[in-house]
């Protein structure tokens, strides 16, 4: 039986994630008390269910240590399971709560200030985030992008070993909190200031040629490629499930896309299977 734990800060997209998982034939249950997990899983297995998703948040976790104990218990019983943590930046969380007119679940436990409620919830959830196999930052993701990220994680073709993501983003849209390695390529030649390249993206050869037609660009990429190749085995030995390598430029359409594509190509030639993600390529 395959078990997924979905946790994260309130408003980060756990409900949307559970809807996606239901469409993928997972048996989904929300806020199951941790002490009932062993009994619940036994009943579900006896009923013949093979894929189960359990959503847990700070309200249903009186003590994060109980979640860690449940995780360790499943390890001991050799039950295949993963923890996916949904993340989102404070500004976007506040915006979502204002739009939905819902109260944050920790409002009554603080001074009624939503920023303080979010901060307290993050502290409660820290042990779970640190234990997560995957962290998904939904701050700038559209529902379709979130679904694709989940499909990448759950893909049977990528079920072995550590998943490596080579992603691009634009600093003006915010930095991705799930990034393990982040490189700022704003110091390189910018195609935005070339009229015939401005409306194109780093997916096109002439944009890539412009970005890389610089000694500094070539040197920077060579250093990043060598560092990445050195670090990947170390992360794998640590037991890390995912490695997110993020490249940022001003808007996330030219230089960062070029470097994310080039690194993915380099890693493929080295025998890895990176997943490419361009978060802001369609944004203006």
Q: Any idea which residue has 């008390």 for tokens? A: 33
Q: What is the pLDDT of residue 182?
A: 98
How would you write the pLDDT of the chain (284 residues) with one tens digit per residue? Answer: 888 999 999 999 998 999 999 988 899 998 877 778 778 888 888 888 889 999 887 665 555 566 666 666 666 666 778 899 999 999 999 998 888 878 787 777 777 788 888 998 888 888 888 888 899 999 988 888 888 888 888 875 445 578 899 999 999 999 998 899 999 999 999 999 999 999 999 999 999 999 999 999 999 999 999 999 999 999 988 878 889 999 999 999 999 999 999 999 999 999 999 999 999 999 87
Q: What is the pLDDT of residue 62?
A: 55
29 and 137 co-located in one domain = yes
**Rounded to whole angstroms, what are the CA distances from 45 to 74, 214, 220?**
14, 59, 52
12 and 150 co-located in one domain = yes
Counted domains in the chain = 2
Tell me the backbone φ, ψ of residue 116, rounded to 5 degrees: -70, -35
Asked if the structure places residue 210 within a domain, the reply is: yes
228 and 169 co-located in one domain = yes
pTM exceeds 0.75: no
Query: Last residue of some domain: 124, 158, 192?
Result: 158
**Rounded to whole angstroms, what are the CA distances from 93 to 100, 172, 223?**
11, 18, 36
- For 232, the domain range is 163-278
Tell how strand 27-30 and strand 51-55 pair up: parallel
Q: What is the pLDDT of residue 202?
A: 97
Q: What is the pLDDT of residue 247?
A: 98
198 and 106 co-located in one domain = no
136 and 6 co-located in one domain = yes
Query: Last residue of some domain: 133, 158, 183?
Result: 158
- How many helices (H) does the chain have, and how many strands (E)? 9, 9
29 and 88 co-located in one domain = yes
Is the backbone of residue 186 left (phi > 0), alpha (psi -120 to 50) or beta?
alpha
Are 167 and 248 in contact by the 8 Å Cβ rule? The answer is no
Asked if the structure places residue 284 within a domain, the reply is: no
Asked if the structure places residue 283 within a domain, the reply is: no
182 and 143 co-located in one domain = no
Are 80 and 170 in contact by the 8 Å Cβ rule? The answer is no
Asked if the structure places residue 185 within a domain, the reply is: yes
Q: What is the pLDDT of residue 60?
A: 58
52 and 120 co-located in one domain = yes
138 and 32 co-located in one domain = yes
Q: What is the pLDDT of residue 157?
A: 46
154 and 167 co-located in one domain = no
Angle of helix 205-212 versus helix 215-238 axis, rounded to 10: 100
Asked if the structure places residue 243 within a domain, the reply is: yes
- Secondary structure element (H or E) that encloses residue 211, with its range: helix 205-212
């Amino acid at each position: 039986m395959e078990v997924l734990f979905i946790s994260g800060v309130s408003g980060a997209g756990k409900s949307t994630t559970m809807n996606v998982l239901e469409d993928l034939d997972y048996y989904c249950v929300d806020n199951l008390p941790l002490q009932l997990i062993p009994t619940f899983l036994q009943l579900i297995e006896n009923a013949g269910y093979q894929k189960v998703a359990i959503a847990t948040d700070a309200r249903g976790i009186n003590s994060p240590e109980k979640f860690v104990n449940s995780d360790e218990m499943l390890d001991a019983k050799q039950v295949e399971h993963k923890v996916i943590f949904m993340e989102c930046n404070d500004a976007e969380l506040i915006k979502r709560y204002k739009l939905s007119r819902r109260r944050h679940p920790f409002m009554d436990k603080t001074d009624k200030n939503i920023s303080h409620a979010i901060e307290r919830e993050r502290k409660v959830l820290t042990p779970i985030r640190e234990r997560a196999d995957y962290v998904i930052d939904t701050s700038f993701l559209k529902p379709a992008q979130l679904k694709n990220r989940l499909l990448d994680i759950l893909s049977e073709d990528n079920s072995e070993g550590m998943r490596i993501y080579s992603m691009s983003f634009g600093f003006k849209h915010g930095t991705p909190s799930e990034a393990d390695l982040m490189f700022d390529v704003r110091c390189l030649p910018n195609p935005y200031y070339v009229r015939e390249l401005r409306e194109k993206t780093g997916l096109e050869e002439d944009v890539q040629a412009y970005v890389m037609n610089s000694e500094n660009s070539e040197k920077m990429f060579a250093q990043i490629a060598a560092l990445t190749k050195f670090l990947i085995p170390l992360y794998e030995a640590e037991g890390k499930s995912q490695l997110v390598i993020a490249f940022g430029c001003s808007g996330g359409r030219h230089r960062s896309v070029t470097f994310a594509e080039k690194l993915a190509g380099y890693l493929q030639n080295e025998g890895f299977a990176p997943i490419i993600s361009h978060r802001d390529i369609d944004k203006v």
